Amino acid sequence: MLNDSLHMLGEQLRRSYLESTRALVAAVEARDPYTHDHSQRVSQYAKTIAIRMNLNDREINRIETAAILHDIGKIGIPDSILLKTEQLLPEEFAVVRCHPTIGVKILSHTTYLRRELPVILHHHERYDGRGYPEGLAGEDIPIGARVLAAADALDAMLSRRAYRDALSMVQVRQEFKKQHGLQFDPVVTDVVLEWLDESGEALVAKLNNKIPDVTSA
Ligand SMILES: [Fe+2]
Ligand SMILES: [Fe+2]
């Protein structure tokens, strides 16, 4: 009985903590009209991929939560770099590359998210080991981070930027094929390609209806 109450209280605390961190995420995304709702979409994509990979419910939940919070460390990146539309200088890129580590630092003050932290820390690792922050490769990268990396890239490809249009579904599929086993886990890539085969066009149609025209903002 007492155990049940403590468990419920713990869950409530975890939920209210998550709600406040979501507010932080919204603050980060409000700075850049091109990333509006990015984390929400990435979370949906990551969940879909995780379900299609038949991962267990705990892992799916962990990935979904980590995805919502994955770019929270961008709060520590100055506007002059975060909002820059021209190509970043090497030293500016080095600052951007700190955002997974900053994010984990912000979130490590609580025990509620300790299992999500490795997924957040490693969301920019590449399967071939050429990513950051630690240059992990293959299965050394937590599975959640491999799923999140693909979902994150998918949203970037499907979103318009100041310097380019959104990619077409044909281009997105080409990119995933090209990065099979390089940027992305091969199994995750196969699952993404199969999903986009079935639902890619419907996804684009949904995005076109929902995403505000940022050029007129
Ligand atoms: Fe990121
Ligand atoms: Fe992201």
pLDDT tens profile 64-93:
999 999 999 999 999 999 988 888 999 999
* Confidence tier at 16 by pLDDT (50, 70, 90): confident
Nearest alpha-carbon partner for 145 in 120, 177, 178: 120
Ligand 2 center from residue 43 Cα (angstroms): 10
Among all bound ligands, the one having the nearest atom to the CA of 100 is: 1
Structure tokens, 72: 């929270």
The per-residue pLDDT for 124 is: 98
The per-residue pLDDT for 217 is: 38
* Confidence tier at 211 by pLDDT (50, 70, 90): low
CA angle 183, 156, 16 (to 5 degrees): 105
Nearest alpha-carbon partner for 28 in 116, 110, 106: 106
Name the percent of the chain lying above pLDDT 90: 67
CA angle 23, 27, 30 (to 5 degrees): 130
Nearest alpha-carbon partner for 188 in 24, 49, 18, 22: 49
Ligand 2 center from residue 149 Cα (angstroms): 8
Ligand 2 center from residue 201 Cα (angstroms): 22
CA separation for the pair 195, 19 (Å, rounded): 30
Question: Are 182 and 190 within 8 A, CB to CB?
Answer: no
Among all bound ligands, the one having the nearest atom to the CA of 98 is: 1
CB neighbourhood size of 65 (10 A): 23
2-212: CATH architecture: Orthogonal Bundle (1.10)
Structure tokens, 142: 């937590």
Least confident of 108-117, 119-128, 129-138, 139-148: 108-117
Q: Is 180 helix (H, G, I), strand (E, B) or coil?
A: strand
Structure tokens, 105: 């630092």
CA separation for the pair 168, 20 (Å, rounded): 35
Nearest alpha-carbon partner for 45 in 159, 148, 198: 148
Ligand 1 center from residue 108 Cα (angstroms): 17
| 185 CB-near residues (< 8 Å, 6+ apart) | 127, 141, 146, 147, 149, 150
Among all bound ligands, the one having the nearest atom to the CA of 101 is: 1
pTM of the predicted model over 0.95: no
Name the percent of the chain lying above pLDDT 70: 97
Nearest alpha-carbon partner for 179 in 192, 168, 164, 194: 192
